[in-house]
Amino acid sequence: MRGSLLPWAAAAAVVCLLGRLMALGTAGTGEALQVHIICFNFETVRVTWNVSEPSGENLTFFYTFDSGEAYGQCTHYILRRGLTAGCILDFQDQVLHFSIRNATHALFTHSQWASFYLKPGAPRNLSFQWQQEKVAVTCPGLAHGGLLYEVQLRSNFDAAWQSKEEETCNVHIEGLDAEKCYCLRARVKTTEAAYGPDSYPGDWSEVSCWYGGLPSDLCPDVPISPGFPRFILICSLVALLTLCLVLLSLWKLGRVRNLLVPTVPDPKSSFSGLFEQHQGNFQEWMKDAQNVAHLPRTGSGGGELDCGPEEALVVQVAKTATALDSLSRSSEEGQPPGGCSQLFRRPPQSGPVVSLGGFEFVMSDGSYVML
C-alpha cells in the first residue's frame, strides 16, 4: 500500500511543477529583450525593457515579492512612443519575481533580490560640527546595513578631493587647518558583499564650503599649490635672463652698427669743447676760443708773427669796409705793418669782435664768418 502511494505523489508533483512553469512562462526565443533594473534609495524599483525588433504591441509586466503568491500586473507603466517600456513598483527587500509577456507567451522571466540593483539617494539633512582642527559630518542614516557613508573634502590648496568612509553617517575628519577654507560633500555607497556587483553608488550631496567653522558661499580659487614645481620656477628665471641678454645684445648691436656706419659725422673731434662746454653754440665757442688763443707780443728771435695761413680763412665783412679802407690808407702812409695785433688795435665800434689769425673783426648783425 505504501509503495502504491509514491507514484501518485510523484505524478502530482510533476503536474504542479509543470503548471508553475507554464504560469511563469519561459524566456522567449526570437524576440531579444534587454531588461534594466534600478532600485532608487529603497523606495521604488524601476524595471525597463527594450525590444530589439519592435513589433508594435504592448508588453505586460507581472511581478510578486512572495514566491508563494500569484503574480500581479504592474499598475504604473512607463510608456515610450505610446507603448509600454517599463514599470515602477514599490520596493521590498525581498526577491523580485517578474515576467514580461506579450499576448501569447512570456518573453522574459527572472527572479532576483531587488536590493542588488540599489542606487542610494544623496544624504539628506547633513550637519557639520567644527572643532578647531576637526569636523564631524552627520546625517540620518538609512535603515539598512551594508552601506558606507563617504565624505569628501577639499581645501583651496588641494587639487583633488580627500575621502573618508564610515559604516554610519557619522564621519569624523581630523588634522584640518583652521586658516583654510574647506568644501565638503557626502554620498552613500553600497558594499558588494551586501548588495552584489550590479548596484550603483549614490548621488553626491550639494557641496558645502566652510571657513573658520562658518559657512561660506564658496572657497577662493585654488591658488598655485605650495609644491609649485621648482623646475618651472627655474625655467622662468632662465627665460627671463635670456630675454634680458637678447635685449642687451640688440642694444649693443645698435651701437656697433652706428660705429661701423656712422650716419652723421661727429664734429666733436674738430671743435674741442663745442658740445661739452657750449652745448653746440658755435658763437659761444668762438668767444671762448678767442679768449684762449691769444697772440704772443714778441715772437721768437724777433721774427715775424705767424698770422696763420691766409688761404684757410675767408673773412667777408659787409659793413666795415670803411674801416678797412682807412686801414689800408694808414698802411700806405708808411706805418709798418708789424704785428697783426697792431693793425686792429682800434676798439670795436659795435657788436662782438672776432679775432682770427691775428685779425680782429667787428661783427654786426649782417656779418658772418664762414670757415
Partner 1 sequence: TFSDVLLFVLSDFFRKIFILQLAGLVLTYNFTDCDFEKIKQKYQKTIYNDLKEYMNGAKSTQFNSTVSCNNKSDCLAEIERLTFSAPRGCAPLAREAFALRTRATFALQCPGYSRTQTNNTQAAKKTKEREITTKKCLEQVSQLLGLWGRFCRTLWKR
Shortest Cβ distance from residue 166 to partner 1 (Å)? 10
Interface residue with partner 1 among 55, 58, 168, 350 (CB under 8 A) is 168
Shortest Cβ distance from residue 168 to partner 1 (Å)? 5
Mark the segment that binds partner 1 (CB under 8 A) among 83-91, 190-198, 278-286, 304-312.
190-198
Interface residue with partner 1 among 48, 102, 157, 196 (CB under 8 A) is 196
Nearer to partner 1, 88 or 95 (CB): 95
Shortest Cβ distance from residue 27 to partner 1 (Å)? 11
Beta bridge partners of 187: 150
Mark the segment that binds partner 1 (CB under 8 A) among 12-20, 110-118, 251-259, 288-296.
110-118
Shortest Cβ distance from residue 79 to partner 1 (Å)? 27
Contact between 90 and partner 1 per CB under 8 A: no
Interface residue with partner 1 among 70, 103, 143, 160 (CB under 8 A) is 143
Site string for partner 1, 37-76 (x = CB under 8 A): ------------------------------x---------
Strand ordering across the sheet containing 44-51: 77-80, 83-90, 44-51, 33-40, 118-119
Shortest Cβ distance from residue 109 to partner 1 (Å)? 8
Buried b / exposed e over 148-186, threshold 16 CB at 10 Å, is bbbbbbbbbeeeeeeeeeeeebebebeebeeeebbbbbb
Contact between 26 and partner 1 per CB under 8 A: no
Contact between 151 and partner 1 per CB under 8 A: no
Q: Which residues bind partner 1 (CB under 8 A)?
A: 1-2, 67, 93-95, 110-113, 115-116, 141-147, 167-168, 191-198
